[in-house]
A and B are shown apart, each in its own frame.
Chain A
Amino acid sequence: MAVLETYLIYMLYALLGALISVGLSFIPSLHAYNVVGFAVVAYLPFMDTVDPMIPVMLMIGITVGYATLSTISFNYLTIADDSIIFYVLPTSKYLMQGRAHEATVLSGIGALIGMAYVVLVIPLCAPVFVILRNVLSPFMFLIIGFVICFYILSEWPKDFGVGKTPLQRLWDGWSTLLPGLFTFFISSIFGMIIFYKTFVPLNAAFQSIMPAIVGLFAVPSLVINLISKMNIPKQHIAKSVDASWEQILRGSGAGLLGGAFASFVPAVTAGPASLMAGHFTAQRSDRMFIISGGACRFVYYVGAVALFFLPGLNKSKGGLAIMINLFFVPETTEQFYITIAAIAITGFVSFFLLLLVSRGVIKLLEVVNYKYISLVALVLIFIIVAAMTGWQGTLILIVGGLIGMIPALFHARRGNCLAVILTPIMLNMAGVGPTVAGWMGLL
Chain B
Amino acid sequence: MKGITHFIFGAMLATFFVEAVRAAILEKNAIILLGGCYGILPDTLDFKLARYIEPEQYVIDPWTTKFDPQLIATTMAKAINEAHETKKRTKFKIHTVKLGADWWRRLSVSFDLEKKIITARVEGIINTGQVPIPGTEPPAEKSWAIAKYKPDLIHDYDKESFVQIFSGPDFEFVPVGDKVRVDFIPWHRRWSHSFTYGAALGFLGFILGYIFTPSYLVDAEWGRVYFGLIGWGIATFGFWGHVIEDQTGLMGSNLFPPFTKDRTKGLSMHYPGFGNARSSDAIPNFMWNWSAVAIAIYNFNMFSFKRAFTPPLITYVTDIYGPLPFILEYIVGFINYALVVIVAPLSVIYVLSYLHYRKNKEDERFPERKITEEEMRAKEMLAEMGDGFEMD
- A residues neighboring B (CB under 8 Å): 80-82, 85-90, 93, 131-132, 134-136, 138-139, 141-142, 145-146, 149-150, 153-158, 160-162, 166, 169-170, 172-174, 177, 246, 250, 275-276, 278-286, 289, 413-415, 429-432
- Quick check: A82 and B356 within 8 Å, CB to CB? no
- Quick check: A415 and B36 within 8 Å, CB to CB? no
A85's partner among B4, B51, B101, B391 (CB-CB below 8 A) is B101
**7 residue pairs from A and B, CB less than 8 Å apart:** A87-B128, A88-B101, A135-B297, A135-B309, A153-B3, A170-B52, A281-B282
- Quick check: B3 and A154 within 8 Å, CB to CB? yes
- Quick check: B102 and A139 within 8 Å, CB to CB? no
Q: A82-B100, A174-B48 known; A142 and B392 CB under 8 Å?
A: no
- Quick check: B28 and A275 within 8 Å, CB to CB? no
Scoring B4, B37, B168, B392 by chain A CB atoms within 10 A of each residue's CB, the highest score goes to B392
What are the interface flags for B280-303 relative to A under an 8 Å C-beta threshold, 1 for contact and 0 otherwise? Answer: 111001100100000001001100
| In the complex, chain A residues whose CB is within 8 Å of the CB of B25 | 138-139
| In the complex, chain A residues whose CB is within 8 Å of the CB of B168 | 160
| In the complex, chain A residues whose CB is within 8 Å of the CB of B40 | 150, 153-154
CA distance A162 to B101 in the complex (A): 19
Q: Does B140 contact A (CB under 8 A)?
A: no
B308's partner among A134, A156, A161, A414 (CB-CB below 8 A) is A134
- Quick check: A173 and B52 within 8 Å, CB to CB? yes
Q: Does B95 contact A (CB under 8 A)?
A: yes
- Quick check: B48 and A173 within 8 Å, CB to CB? yes
A166's partner among B36, B52, B102, B304 (CB-CB below 8 A) is B52
CA distance A289 to B391 in the complex (A): 9
CA distance A154 to B40 in the complex (A): 8
CA distance A430 to B29 in the complex (A): 8
- Quick check: A282 and B304 within 8 Å, CB to CB? no
- Quick check: B4 and A154 within 8 Å, CB to CB? yes
Q: A173-B52, A289-B391, A432-B28 known; A145 and B33 CB under 8 Å?
A: yes
CA distance A431 to B33 in the complex (A): 16
Which residue on A lies nearest to B352, using beta carbons? A249
Q: Does B167 contact A (CB under 8 A)?
A: yes
Q: A131-B309, A142-B32, A142-B33 known; A284 and B52 CB under 8 Å?
A: no
Q: A149-B33, A173-B52, A280-B286 known; A161 and B167 CB under 8 Å?
A: yes
- Quick check: A156 and B33 within 8 Å, CB to CB? no
| In the complex, chain A residues whose CB is within 8 Å of the CB of B61 | 162
- Quick check: B11 and A177 within 8 Å, CB to CB? no
Which residue on B lies nearest to A416, using beta carbons? B392
- Quick check: B392 and A170 within 8 Å, CB to CB? no
CA distance A166 to B57 in the complex (A): 12
- Quick check: A282 and B391 within 8 Å, CB to CB? no
User: Which 7 residue pairs spanning A and B have beta carbons closest together?
Assistant: A156-B388, A82-B101, A134-B308, A279-B4, A166-B53, A282-B285, A170-B52
Q: A89-B391, A161-B52, A166-B52 known; A146 and B36 CB under 8 Å?
A: yes
| In the complex, chain A residues whose CB is within 8 Å of the CB of B392 | 87, 89, 275, 413-415
Determine how close the nearest CB of chain A comes to the CB of B350; give it in whole angstroms.
14
CA distance A145 to B11 in the complex (A): 11
CA distance A4 to B160 in the complex (A): 70
| In the complex, chain B residues whose CB is within 8 Å of the CB of A158 | 166
CA distance A430 to B27 in the complex (A): 8
Q: A138-B25, A280-B289, A281-B286 known; A150 and B356 CB under 8 Å?
A: no
- Quick check: A150 and B4 within 8 Å, CB to CB? yes
- Quick check: B390 and A279 within 8 Å, CB to CB? yes
- Quick check: A278 and B390 within 8 Å, CB to CB? yes
- Quick check: B3 and A285 within 8 Å, CB to CB? no
| In the complex, chain B residues whose CB is within 8 Å of the CB of A174 | 48, 52
Determine how close the nearest CB of chain A comes to the CB of B33; give it in whole angstroms.
5
* Total count of chain B residues near the partner, CB < 8 A: 58
- Quick check: B282 and A283 within 8 Å, CB to CB? yes
CA distance A90 to B41 in the complex (A): 29
Determine how close the nearest CB of chain B comes to the CB of A172; give it in whole angstroms.
8
Q: A82-B101, A135-B297 known; A142 and B391 CB under 8 Å?
A: no
Q: Does B134 contact A (CB under 8 A)?
A: no
CA distance A21 to B355 in the complex (A): 42
CA distance A282 to B389 in the complex (A): 11
Q: A85-B101, A160-B166, A275-B391 known; A146 and B47 CB under 8 Å?
A: no
| In the complex, chain B residues whose CB is within 8 Å of the CB of A150 | 4, 7, 36, 40
| In the complex, chain B residues whose CB is within 8 Å of the CB of A136 | 297, 300
| In the complex, chain A residues whose CB is within 8 Å of the CB of B258 | none
Determine how close the nearest CB of chain B comes to the CB of A285; give it in whole angstroms.
7
Which residue on B lies nearest to A83, using beta carbons? B101
Determine how close the nearest CB of chain B comes to the CB of A381; give it in whole angstroms.
22
What are the interface flags for B47-62 relative to A under an 8 Å C-beta threshold, 1 for contact and 0 otherwise? Answer: 1110111111000010
B28's partner among A153, A246, A289, A430 (CB-CB below 8 A) is A430
Determine how close the nearest CB of chain A comes to the CB of B365; give it in whole angstroms.
14
| In the complex, chain B residues whose CB is within 8 Å of the CB of A276 | 4
A250's partner among B41, B282, B390 (CB-CB below 8 A) is B282
- Quick check: B390 and A275 within 8 Å, CB to CB? yes
| In the complex, chain A residues whose CB is within 8 Å of the CB of B248 | none
Determine how close the nearest CB of chain B comes to the CB of A90; give it in whole angstroms.
7
| In the complex, chain B residues whose CB is within 8 Å of the CB of A85 | 101
| In the complex, chain B residues whose CB is within 8 Å of the CB of A139 | 24-25, 300
| Given A145-B30, A156-B387, A289-B391, 18 more pairs with CB closer than 8 A | A81-B101, A82-B102, A93-B127, A131-B308, A131-B309, A135-B304, A142-B33, A146-B36, A153-B3, A154-B7, A162-B61, A166-B55, A275-B392, A278-B391, A280-B8, A281-B282, A284-B280, A430-B28
Q: A145-B30, A154-B40 known; A80 and B101 CB under 8 Å?
A: yes
Q: Does B81 contact A (CB under 8 A)?
A: no
| In the complex, chain B residues whose CB is within 8 Å of the CB of A279 | 2-4, 390
